[in-house]
Amino acid sequence: MPDAPDMLREIFNLQSHLNDEIFAKQDLRDREGKVLSMAAIRQGLEREEFGPNGLVNQWLRNYLAALKAEADEVGEELLWKWWSKDRIDLQNVRVEIVDLMHFLTSMALVAGLSAEEFHRLYTQKHAVNRQRQEQGYSKDTKDEADNRKIV
């Protein structure tokens, strides 16, 4: 489909705009007193402000906390009593998974990844994971050197 939209790029753009809207609505400010924006966080990336008090670290931590909370919400929807006649609410599970994508995308944006860079890194890591499986992956054979080759 030559005219098909780039869905991952669209997700990244939508999330970036939503984050900016939330920053404005919540009146979150950067260090200069301006309304926080994804552009301000990107500027922190460009200045390599990677310390514990920098916007990059702060927002990676915030989004990671949100990601964990959303993962817990997925877990709360799942059933563990194998003897139960209950059924999962698959629609709600799906929506919670989409919420995970919101925060994962926000983390990717804060880390300076574009949709194209995310895709490139994903496909490289996917190749590493496939190779690990083909080689009988275990903690005894795990070697992080293959991760370091991903650029």
At 62-93, the pLDDT tens digits run 999 999 999 999 999 999 999 999 999 999 99
**What are the pLDDT digits (tens) for 105-123?**
999 999 999 999 999 999 9
Q: What pLDDT score does 135 carry?
A: 85
Structural element, H or E, at residue 147: helix 145-148
Burial of residue 8 (CB within 10 Å: 0-12, 13-18, 19+) is: middle
Instruction: Supply φ then ψ for residue 29, to 5 degrees.
Output: -120, 150
In contact, 40 and 34? CB cutoff 8 Å: yes
| Residue 52 pLDDT greater than 60, yes or no | yes
Domain chopping of the chain, boundaries: 7-113, 114-151
Cα–Cα distances in Å, from 86 out to 73, 81, 106? 18, 9, 34
128-140 pLDDT, tens digit each: 999 888 888 888 8
Q: How far is CA 116 from CA 96, 97, 130, in A?
A: 25, 22, 21
Q: What percent of the chain clears pLDDT 90, i.e. is strictly above it?
A: 80
Percent of the chain past pLDDT 70, that is, above it, reads 97
Structure confidence at residue 108 (pLDDT): 98
pTM of the model: 0.88
DSSP, res 146 = H
Residue 146 has a pLDDT of 80
